[in-house]
Structures are given as C-alpha cells and as structure tokens.
C-alpha cells in the first residue's frame, strides 16, 4: 500500500509556519521504512505533530507535545518556530493561572513537565514560568502523593495513577538550578516516596521511569531495585536490538482482550525509551546492547520521519508513535549520534 500525506490539514497562523506545512498523516504500521536515517524528516515530523496537537487540542499531553519539548532541542537546525510557539503557549497557560483556576490537575502537571524538560534541554536555567508551574504542581498533589491522572486505558502512559508519580519525579530530577532542593519540592518528594512505599508497581515500564529519576533523586528505588530493573530491561532486548512495549507491562491484551499485541516485535517507543533511560543511569554508549539498539533505530525510521509503535490500548490513532519518535531522537542523541536538520 502506498503511504500518502493528506493535503487538507494546514497549520497556518501568525506566519510562524508556512501554508505548505501539513500535519502528519495518521500513523500506520504499513508505512514504508526509510532508506536511511533522515534527521530532517524526523525534525519535520516532530514539529508538525507537536504544533498540530497544541493548536487543535490546546493542551499538553505526555504522548505528543510534552516529550517534543525535550526532544526537539536535541536536533540542530531546522525550523525552530514551532517550538517557540509551543513554548509561548505554555508560558501563557501559566500566566492564566494567576487569575483563573487550571482546567484540570493533569494540565498543571503536563505544563510543568514540558517547561522543565525544555529548560533542561535549552538554557539549563529554570525560567520563572517553569518555577511557577512546578510550584503550582505541588498544590494539586493528592494526599496519597499522586496526581489526578488520565485513565484512558492507554498504557503505558495513561492507564493508572502510578505513572503520574514517576512522571513528576523525572521532571523534578531534571529541573535546573537544584529546584529539587526547594522547600516545596522537598515536601512533594517526601509524599512521592510515601506513595511509592505504599503502592509498589509491578510494571517494568514504570520501574524504568523511576530508574531514570533515580539518577538524581534518592529514595525512589533501592540500590537492589535499580540493579534488578536494569537487569530486567537488558533481558528483554530482542535479537534484532530493539525492545517491545507490551513486554514492559505486560500490555499484550487490553480492552477486555479485544486487542492483542505481539510480544516479540521491536518497536520505536520501547527501543527509544529503554535506550535513553539506560544512558541516563550510566550505561555507556559503547555498550554492545546500546550499539545494537542504535542500529535498530537507524534502520527502522519510517519515510515520514517517525518511528511507529502500535498503541497497546487499541487506540486507532496510534498516539504512542508520537512519543516513540521523540524518544528515538533522545536515544540517538544520548548515544552520540550526529543529529543535524540543516538541509
């Protein structure tokens, strides 16, 4: 089947993106593989999907424009205006909270995480809007230490409350200017530790997210749990060098058994996510497992610039492909690959 981009969806406003810029076509498993790694196409996909979601949905989400704010700065060159527009949207959202209540608690968390990740990846300094968003985030933390998180039956990101805790922990661990040492953050992190003690997770994906945060925050995982998690992740690497998202749950069957996901097929999300996390926790880029993972990522980009991942929750939109493309870029950058989108 030939894969075509639609021409109907245009992103045109304020002259930041040209009329020729189209939102990406829906993610499909039969889209052809690119002949070689194409950083320009990767940047274009990230820009259009991130900007389209922000403009059309007017919110931030963990499967699209939030990880975009961390991944896009890792690619040199290309059109920087989409990221600037999303950044302005985030800062305007924080400004609104001075006079009105946030739409939902999740909106506060997603905004804080996106701004934090972008500060970490760009200036390395905590912007006043980011600090305000992080401080606001603690005010909507629930008594048990978690946050009111979307439960859409879309694993691994939006199907339980536990992920909200791990997600916030990662953001705080990456926040510049030692934000984690502020009184508000210390109190919030204490509540997170209490939640983790009372609600241990069996999901390897969530353990890996905590492993990521544990690189800079103590008390999230014990030393034994860190070693065990790394060993589990290594054990699940497939012969072709990739990892499989359902195996991190497992999420092989969702929605009452209607959707069955293969457990032995490498995909973009698991491969990019696990590779990136292992790098953050000290595994060298020259590690044989990571070299195989990088080779898989370079050989499995699609022609549109994305890395496909079937959403375990049965979402026809395959939103996990969006975040998988961001983590593919993060993993390649973390392993020392040259990512330059200059034509």
Residue 21, pLDDT above cutoff 70: no
**Residue-wise pLDDT tens digits, 183-222:** 999 999 999 999 999 999 999 999 999 999 999 999 999 9
User: H helices within the chain, ranges in order?
Assistant: 39-57, 65-71, 81-96, 105-121, 128-139, 162-174, 183-198, 204-214, 223-235, 268-280, 288-299, 320-334
Higher confidence at residue 54 or residue 18?
Answer: 54
pLDDT for 11: 44
Residues 287 and 267: their CA atoms lie apart, in Å, by: 20
pLDDT for 66: 98
Residue 343, pLDDT above cutoff 70: no
pLDDT for 6: 35
39-57 vs 81-96: helix axis angle to the nearest 10? 30
**Residue-wise pLDDT tens digits, 294-336:** 999 999 999 999 999 999 877 788 999 999 999 999 999 999 9
**Residue-wise pLDDT tens digits, 96-152:** 999 999 999 999 999 999 999 999 999 999 999 999 999 999 999 999 999 999 988
Mean pLDDT of 162-169: 98
Q: In this structure, what DSSP letter does residue 25 have?
A: P
Please name every residue paired with 158 in a beta bridge, in sequence order, or none if there are none.
Answer: 154
Percent of the chain with pLDDT over 90: 84
CB atoms within 10 A of CB 282: 10
Q: Do the Cβ atoms of 148 and 95 come closer than 8 Å?
A: no
Residues 51 and 43: their CA atoms lie apart, in Å, by: 12
Q: Tokens in use for 241?
A: 């060098």
pLDDT for 151: 85
Q: Do the Cβ atoms of 81 and 56 come closer than 8 Å?
A: no
19 confidence band (pLDDT: 50, 70, 90): very low
Residues 216 and 133: their CA atoms lie apart, in Å, by: 20
């Amino acid at each position: 089947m030939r894969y075509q981009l639609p021409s109907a969806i245009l992103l045109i406003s304020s002259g930041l993106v040209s009329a020729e810029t189209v939102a990406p076509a829906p993610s499909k498993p039969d889209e052809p593989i690119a002949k070689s790694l194409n950083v320009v196409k990767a940047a274009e996909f990230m820009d259009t999907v991130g900007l389209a979601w922000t403009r059309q949905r007017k919110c931030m989400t963990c499967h699209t424009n939030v990880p975009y704010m961390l991944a896009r700065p890792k690619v040199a060159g290309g059109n920087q205006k989409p990221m600037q527009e999303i950044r302005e949207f985030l800062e305007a959202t924080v400004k609104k909270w001075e006079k009105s209540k946030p739409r939902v608690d999740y909106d506060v968390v997603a905004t804080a995480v996106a701004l934090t990740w972008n500060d970490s990846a760009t200036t390395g300094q905590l912007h006043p809007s980011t600090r305000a968003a992080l401080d606001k985030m603690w005010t909507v933390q629930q008594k048990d230490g978690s946050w009111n998180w979307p439960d859409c039956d879309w694993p691994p990101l939006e199907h339980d409350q536990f992920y909200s805790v791990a997600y916030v922990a990662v953001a705080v661990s990456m926040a510049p200017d030692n934000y984690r040492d502020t009184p508000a953050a210390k109190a919030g992190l204490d509540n997170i530790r209490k939640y983790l003690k009372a609600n241990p997770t069996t999901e390897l994906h969530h353990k890996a997210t905590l492993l990521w945060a544990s690189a800079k925050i103590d008390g999230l995982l014990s030393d034994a749990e860190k070693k065990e998690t790394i060993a589990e992740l290594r054990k699940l690497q497939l012969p072709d060098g990739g990892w499989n998202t359902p195996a991190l749950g497992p999420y092989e069957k969702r929605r009452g058994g209607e959707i069955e996901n293969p457990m032995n097929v490498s995909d973009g999300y698991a491969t990019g996510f696990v590779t990136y996390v292992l790098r953050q926790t000290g595994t060298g880029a020259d590690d044989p497992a990571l070299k195989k993972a990088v080779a898989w990522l370079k050989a499995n980009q699609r022609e549109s610039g994305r890395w496909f991942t079937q959403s375990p929750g049965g979402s026809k939109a395959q939103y996990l492909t969006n975040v998988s493309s961001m983590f593919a870029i993060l993993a390649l950058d973390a392993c020392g690959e040259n990512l330059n989108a200059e034509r």
